[in-house]
Structure 1
Amino acid sequence: MRTAVTLTQVELSKKLGVHQSFVSKYENGERQLRFQELELVCQACDTSLYAFSKKFSELYPSDNITLK
């Protein structure tokens, strides 16, 4: 999502008020975002949570997701 709106990790981290390593870790799968953090990322990228979830479900259909 960040790259779709041409934000660097540093720019996004500044908008979120976090260190750049926070962004790097969740992009690399080393950390999971909490719901509130996802909402902030959506806001920083000028998109709604609804638009994000719709695009996510198109890219990753539920039949391919393994629930833990």
Structure 2
Amino acid sequence: MRLYRFLTGPDDATFCKRVSAALNKGWELHGAPSLTFNSATGVVICGQAVVKEVEGVEFHDDIKLGEW
């Protein structure tokens, strides 16, 4: 089964660490990162899709993607 996650957060070290943690758990980058600017708060928001192939698991609505 192939899992998909879209990580988002402010453009800061914490976001980079979340993406790095996902990569170290076997997730792979999927496509280019995205950026948007929130003019109300003055914050740049990042997004990065990641995917992971897992064996022996069937998809169900209760899957907690962050645990993989």
TM range (shorter): under 0.3
TM-score normalised to structure 1 length: 0.28
TM-score normalised to structure 2 length: 0.28
Higher relative contact order (CA 8 A, sep 6+): 2
Q: Which has the larger radius of gyration?
A: 2
